[in-house]
């Protein structure tokens, strides 16, 4: 029996390693997005700075894991078997949930997921105890308050709402003030602009940036003292007391010193803001590792402590041995912290999922228009309209001269951004400094603010203040923010419910259920990784689009756009050929699952074409206006014809799915054999059309085949009226033939558009 418990504890430790990798992938967005979005340095350099911060934070952390030990559940009334069920359920739920969110590219909070998993597991055990009439050592019936630390759970929930609202509002206000001061032209010639829009002198420019840098550096240092080092071994009670007693002296002295230093550096045109952003990245990474490490290794190490206590003092009954020892605080051995730090650094350096999650946060706060990751939902559309009307109403009551002056300070067209940057270094600095300040203030006030929530919502607030959400992109950005926020709350609910159910299954299913859970999580992680690798193949068309957006040479933009259109057309024609062949085969051979899968894929392709249309319309703005007008007509012919081909597949698929799903009579073999000849020719023509060579010849062949299909369709109609054929099956078959004709017609239009679009 004991050996099985050892296997479970070892598995918990293995899951802790996986959780470190998955957790770092998810939380990397907290400290990477600002530096990556502003392109302050090469990606590897930013990773190196963050890696140093992570390792330092992990090594200096004292490893207090009280949240896992007795922060949510109260283990003095729980047996060793009870806590093992809870810990295994927590780790299984945590790894699976976080991996799902990472794969979807959605940031979520490891703190909240762990707390709600512990709450769900503890609640499951509490319900079991209460229904079984469990008593304390004094013979008194246990209550819910004896088993669960409800106060801690409620404080976390309150912290969620506070952090989301406060971070967004303050991010908006602070960034608005910063932009009024600096505008978007602060980097031109190393100088800033004054209230009249004129270039400031060297002293004035240096002083502005110096004061901003002084505030930023002082805030970051204070954040490191209060938050980054709060759990470290060097932060003794005497040091904490000294910091608390001299807070204003430290802040005032630091501000004065750093303002002088930053002003001097700015006068010599040394990039002060780059230093601020990199230091902020280091600080947030350090605080993340020092404080959130418990989220990843707290539960497994508590399980190890529980097992050690059980083995040392047990009488052999795991269901009666109480975990009173877990009520005491424990410190993690330094070697564990160093190993955890190394694992986190390796995960950060090599995780593709970390880049994916960071991309979500950066894309939602991007200054310019581009490839929007999200569509639009009703709530986002209502919010966008309401906000626009409110803003217009407020603007009408402000003197026009003031509105004009403010608009001049927010002229993003004058921004000078590095190649590929999503926003400038002013905003990146505000993101990091404000996030650090809010987290530090929350820590000092004992408020359980989530690092993920604060950093993400500050970034959203600053991007809104910078007018990065234009009328063309606002609804997509709002949808993205609502999706991410919704994902956070779904995480909390899903973590609680899923862990509650898993804990019950483990408790009543004993070792059989535990082994099934272990095998299940291994399979899920393996499949998730394979699926992610398939979906994460780098699409060169997206890289081309990014080059077009950031290209200043209109001739080069045109060449890149031609490549992009050609690539999208080729990809969609190949998909149409594959789906058309799969759909017709599935209909004739009554393969319902393939028909259903193909119709779902067709709908996804339709949405993708719609997204590509929007991207390429944006790209058309970057070429010569006269050329854009001339080629725009042919571009729309291409993209609309591709969309029409997909609609043909959709109109084929729905009747076929209904027919086969209802198990109606199949099409007679004689008609199948006749049609397959046409079908194979159509697939061959579409595949040949992928190449833009011999366009006229292929169009002529398609027209001839279209005419032959028309004659064949008339023969089918004649047979329906004169022969004893099944009306249901022949009606669907007739629709298949008609849509095949339309498919060829749309293909001919696509090829004509391609030819005209490419002509010089």
C-alpha distances (whole Å) from 717 to each of 242, 283, 727 are: 93, 75, 11
Name the DSSP class of 532.
H
In a domain, 58, yes or no: yes
Token pair, residue 157, equals 């929930």
Name the DSSP class of 199.
B
Helix ranges (DSSP H) in 314-450: 334-350, 352-364, 378-396, 400-409, 425-444
User: Do 531 and 552 belong to one domain?
Assistant: no
In a domain, 266, yes or no: no
Over residues 254-263, mean pLDDT = 92
Per-residue confidence (pLDDT) for residue 591, from 0 to 100:
92
CB half-sphere exposure, 216, CA atoms < 13 A: 30
Alpha carbon distance 134, 141 (integer Å): 6
Q: How many domains does the chain have?
A: 2
User: Do 558 and 684 belong to one domain?
Assistant: yes
This prediction has a pTM of 0.70
The SS3 assignment for 322 reads strand
Q: Are 678 and 709 in contact (CB under 8 A)?
A: yes
452-477 confidence digits (pLDDT tens) = 778 888 888 888 888 777 666 677 77
The SS3 assignment for 286 reads helix
- Provide the residue count of the chain: 760
- Indicate which CATH number applies to the domain containing 617: 1.20.58.220
Over residues 216-228, mean pLDDT = 77
Answer whether residue 626 shows pLDDT above 80. yes
Q: Are 175 and 462 in contact (CB under 8 A)?
A: yes
More confident residue, 194 or 509: 509
In a domain, 272, yes or no: no
Picking from 488, 504, 535, the residue at the C-terminal end of a domain is: 535
Mean pLDDT check: name the lowest of 364-373, 410-419, 577-586, 640-649.
Answer: 364-373
Per-residue confidence (pLDDT) for residue 593, from 0 to 100:
93
Q: Which residues pair with 8 in a beta bridge?
A: none
Range of the domain at 548: 541-758
Contacts of residue 308, defined as CB under 8 A and 6 or more positions apart, other chains included, come to: none
Per-residue confidence (pLDDT) for residue 446, from 0 to 100:
56
Over residues 613-624, mean pLDDT = 81
- Give Cα 273 to chain centroid, integer Å: 27
Picking from 516, 535, 554, the residue at the C-terminal end of a domain is: 535
In the predicted model, what is the mean pLDDT of the chain?
80
Phi-psi region of 621 (alpha: psi -120 to 50; beta: other; left: phi over 0): alpha
Answer whether residue 532 shows pLDDT above 80. no
Mean pLDDT check: name the lowest of 7-11, 402-406, 465-469, 498-502.
Answer: 465-469
Q: Which of 710, 694, 721 has the alpha carbon at shortest distance from 745?
A: 710
In a domain, 228, yes or no: no
Alpha carbon distance 565, 423 (integer Å): 27
More confident residue, 735 or 416: 735
Alpha carbon distance 207, 749 (integer Å): 62
Token pair, residue 384, equals 């966008």
Per-residue confidence (pLDDT) for residue 541, from 0 to 100:
43
Per-residue confidence (pLDDT) for residue 281, from 0 to 100:
87
Token pair, residue 442, equals 């929350």
In a domain, 302, yes or no: yes
Token pair, residue 201, equals 């002198």
More confident residue, 129 or 235: 129
In a domain, 652, yes or no: yes
Answer whether residue 188 shows pLDDT above 50. no
User: Do 25 and 114 belong to one domain?
Assistant: yes
pLDDT range class, residue 377, cuts 50, 70, 90: confident
Answer whether residue 159 shows pLDDT above 70. yes
User: Do 380 and 299 belong to one domain?
Assistant: yes
Alpha carbon distance 751, 325 (integer Å): 75
User: Do 698 and 735 belong to one domain?
Assistant: yes
CB half-sphere exposure, 277, CA atoms < 13 A: 26
Alpha carbon distance 455, 171 (integer Å): 10
Picking from 535, 552, 587, the residue at the C-terminal end of a domain is: 535
User: Do 188 and 289 belong to one domain?
Assistant: yes
In a domain, 46, yes or no: yes
Residue whose pair of structure tokens reads 């608009």 in the numeric block: 407
User: Do 304 and 426 belong to one domain?
Assistant: yes
User: Do 484 and 549 belong to one domain?
Assistant: no
Per-residue confidence (pLDDT) for residue 96, from 0 to 100:
78
C-alpha distances (whole Å) from 462 to each of 174, 186, 386, 428 are: 8, 17, 20, 9
Mean pLDDT check: name the lowest of 46-55, 123-132, 540-549, 650-659.
Answer: 540-549
Q: Are 242 and 301 in contact (CB under 8 A)?
A: no
User: Do 514 and 616 belong to one domain?
Assistant: no
User: Do 546 and 529 belong to one domain?
Assistant: no
Alpha carbon distance 593, 501 (integer Å): 31
Over residues 605-618, mean pLDDT = 84
Alpha carbon distance 378, 476 (integer Å): 11
Name the DSSP class of 327.
G
User: Do 520 and 659 belong to one domain?
Assistant: no
Q: Are 174 and 181 in contact (CB under 8 A)?
A: no
pLDDT range class, residue 331, cuts 50, 70, 90: low
Name the DSSP class of 723.
S
Answer whether residue 577 shows pLDDT above 90. yes
C-alpha distances (whole Å) from 182 to each of 106, 175, 208, 215 are: 32, 10, 8, 15
User: Do 496 and 550 belong to one domain?
Assistant: no
Answer whether residue 501 shows pLDDT above 80. yes
In a domain, 213, yes or no: no
Alpha carbon distance 418, 37 (integer Å): 10
């Amino acid at each position: 029996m004991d050996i099985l418990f050892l296997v479970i504890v070892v598995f918990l430790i293995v899951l802790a390693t996986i959780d470190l990798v998955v957790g770092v992938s998810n939380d990397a967005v907290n400290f990477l997005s600002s530096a990556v979005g502003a392109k302050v340095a090469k990606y590897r350099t930013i990773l190196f700075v963050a890696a140093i911060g992570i390792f330092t934070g992990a090594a200096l952390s004292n490893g207090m894991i009280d949240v896992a030990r007795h922060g949510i559940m109260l283990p003095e009334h729980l047996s060793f078997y009870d806590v093992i069920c809870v810990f295994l359920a927590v780790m299984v739920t945590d790894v699976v949930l976080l991996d799902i969110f990472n794969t979807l590219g959605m940031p979520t909070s490891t703190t909240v997921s762990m707390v709600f998993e512990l709450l769900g597991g503890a609640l499951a055990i509490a319900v079991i105890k209460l229904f079984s009439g469990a008593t304390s050592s004094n013979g008194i019936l246990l209550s819910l308050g004896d088993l669960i630390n409800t106060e801690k759970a409620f404080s976390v929930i309150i912290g969620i709402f506070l952090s989301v609202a406060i971070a967004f509002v303050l991010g908006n206000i602070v960034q608005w003030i910063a932009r009024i001061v600096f505008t978007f032209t602060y980097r031109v010639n190393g100088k800033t602009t004054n209230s009249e829009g004129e270039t400031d002198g060297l002293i004035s420019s240096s002083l502005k940036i110096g004061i901003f840098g002084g505030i930023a550096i002082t805030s970051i240092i204070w954040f490191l003292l209060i938050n980054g080092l709060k759990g470290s071994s060097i932060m003794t009670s005497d040091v904490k007391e000294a910091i608390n007693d001299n807070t204003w002296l430290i802040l005032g002295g630091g501000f004065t010193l750093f303002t002088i230093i930053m002003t001097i550096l700015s006068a010599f045109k040394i990039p002060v803001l780059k230093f601020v952003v990199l230091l902020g990245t280091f600080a947030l990474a350090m605080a993340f590792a020092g404080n959130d490490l418990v989220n990843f290794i707290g539960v497994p190490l508590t399980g190890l402590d529980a097992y050690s206590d059980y083995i040392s003092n047990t009488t052999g009954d795991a269901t009666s041995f109480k975990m009173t020892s877990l009520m005491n605080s424990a410190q993690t051995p330094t070697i564990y912290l160093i190993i955890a730090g190394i694992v986190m650094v390796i995960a950060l350096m090599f995780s593709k999922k970390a880049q994916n999650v960071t991309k979500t946060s950066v894309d939602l706060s991007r200054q310019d228009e581009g490839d929007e990751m999200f569509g639009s939902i009703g709530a986002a559309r209502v919010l966008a309209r309401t906000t626009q009307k409110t803003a217009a109403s407020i603007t009408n009551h402000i003197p026009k001269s003031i509105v004009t002056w403010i608009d001049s300070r927010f002229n993003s067209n004058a921004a000078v951004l590095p190649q590929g940057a999503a926003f400038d270094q002013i905003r990146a600095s505000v993101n990091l400094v404000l996030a650090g300040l809010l987290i530090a203030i929350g820590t000092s006030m004992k408020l359980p603010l989530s690092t993920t929530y604060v950093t993400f919502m500050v970034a959203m607030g600053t991007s809104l203040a910078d007018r990065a959400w234009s009328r063309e992109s606002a609804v997509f950005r709002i949808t993205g923010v609502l999706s991410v926020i919704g994902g956070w709350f779904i995480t909390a609910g899903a973590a609680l419910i899923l862990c509650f159910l898993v804990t019950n299954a483990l408790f009543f299913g004993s070792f059989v259920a535990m082994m099934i859970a272990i095998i299940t999580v291994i399979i899920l992680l393996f499949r998730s990784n394979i699926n992610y690798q398939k979906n994460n193949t780098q699409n060169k068309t997206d890289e081309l689009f990014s080059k077009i957006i950031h290209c200043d040479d209109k001739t080069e933009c045109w060449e890149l756009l031609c490549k992009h259109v050609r690539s999208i057309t080729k990809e969609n024609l190949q998909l149409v050929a594959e789906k058309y062949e799969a759909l017709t085969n599935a209909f004739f051979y009554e393969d319902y699952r393939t028909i259903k899968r193909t119709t779902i894929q067709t709908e996804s392709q339709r949405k993708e074409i719609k997204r590509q249309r929007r991207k390429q319309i944006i790209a058309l703005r970057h070429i010569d206006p006269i050329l854009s007008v001339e080629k725009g007509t042919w571009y729309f012919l291409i993209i609309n014809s591709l969309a029409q081909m997909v609609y043909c597949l959709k109109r084929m698929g729905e009747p076929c799915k209904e027919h086969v799903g209802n198990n109606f009579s199949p099409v007679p073999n004689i008609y199948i054999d006749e049609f397959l000849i046409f079908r194979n020719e159509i697939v061959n023509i579409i595949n040949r059309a992928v190449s833009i060579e011999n366009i006229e010849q292929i169009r002529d062949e398609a027209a001839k085949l279209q005419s032959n299909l028309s004659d064949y369709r008339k023969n089918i109609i004649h047979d329906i009226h004169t022969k004893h054929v099944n009306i249901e099956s022949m009606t669907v078959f007739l629709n298949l033939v008609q849509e095949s004709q339309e498919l060829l017609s749309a293909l001919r239009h696509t090829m004509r558009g391609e030819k005209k679009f490419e002509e010089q």
